[in-house]
Amino acid sequence: MTPDPGSTVPQSQSLDTGTLAPSLQERLLVHLQHWARPRHCHWDPLALLAVRSELSALLAPLGPFEEHRFGVGSQAGCNLILRLPGRQSHLAPLLVGAHYDGPLHSPGADDTATGLAALVELARFWAVQPPRRPVWLVAFDQEELGLLGSLALAAQLRTSGQDLALMVSLEMLGYTSSQQHYPLAAMRHLYGERGDFLALVTNIRALPRLPALARRLGRHVPTRVLPVPQAGRLLPEVRRSDHSPFWDQGYATVLATDTSFLRNPHYHQPSDTIDTLDLPFLTAVTTGLALALSAL
């Protein structure tokens, strides 16, 4: 797929740390080549463990790192948490997450090896150029088994009284299409026919932060905002990722997505492979997130 010209921006190179470093798009592709493989916790447990080990090796050297274990038996899992300082350490942290387990019988390139690749590059960028506030980067386990990793972490944070400025879930960031589907037909008139934008699906509590966030993102990639009331319970299509437990715990939360199965016909299929992805779009999304969230 090829995005509209406005989707690819030269500023993507601003995330490089030196003139001899591979470009951001090249690094994202390398991550995808490592992680776009079956990695379901029950059907491909060894592959899932390998991805967990690779992620730990990339994230742990960047700052304070934790393995957050949850559940027992077949529902046991491990979230990976990297906590990076901000320039103003007294501010409530930003939490950015993506799940590292994959769908059943699918390499999960878009779902969500793209989110993982972006997460790691955001971590690399913020480790060198700290954002305004502290940021916690979380690789969630067992999303595909029922959001188990995010359920455990959201509940723990709420019980401990931990405040968050915003939770951002990265869920499928790399697919564009000439056609876009919607859960409600009327949305087509608001958001357009083409699937060439990044969607920000947000609860009401996050709305005050959305205008500035969408404006900054829009400098790098077409961006559309969808506010949903009642934690999305009236529109179940928008609840199917790791943002939902944070919505339910009352946190200001945003789902950043290419709209998943509403755009990508390879969702949860063996055909969800790297060659179907729009790498310039993913690069622009990653750049936009890094710079837009840095100023939050």
- What is the per-residue pLDDT across 167-199, written as a single tens digit (0 to 9) for each? 999 999 999 999 999 998 999 999 999 999 999
pLDDT tens readout for residues 232-283:
888 888 999 999 999 999 999 999 999 999 999 999 999 999 999 999 999 9
The residues that bridge with 79 in the sheet, in sequence order, are: 68
CATH fold, domain 23-294, is Aminopeptidase (3.40.630)
Half-sphere exposure for 258 (CA within 13 Å, toward CB): 34
* pLDDT higher than threshold 50 for residue 12: no
C-alpha–C-alpha distance, residues 242 and 244, integer Å = 5
- Asked if 258 and 179 count as a contact pair (C-beta separation under 8 A), the reply is no
- The mean per-residue pLDDT over the stretch 86-114 comes to 97
- The mean per-residue pLDDT over the stretch 79-102 comes to 98
Residue 6 identity (one-letter amino acid): G
- Asked if 69 and 76 count as a contact pair (C-beta separation under 8 A), the reply is yes
- Asked if 271 and 107 count as a contact pair (C-beta separation under 8 A), the reply is no
Domain boundaries, the chain: 23-294
Of 210, 123, 130, 199, which is closest to residue 165 (Cα–Cα)? 210
Tell me phi and psi for residue 107, to 5 degrees: -70, -15
Three-state DSSP class for residue 280: helix
Please tell me the pTM assigned to this model: 0.93
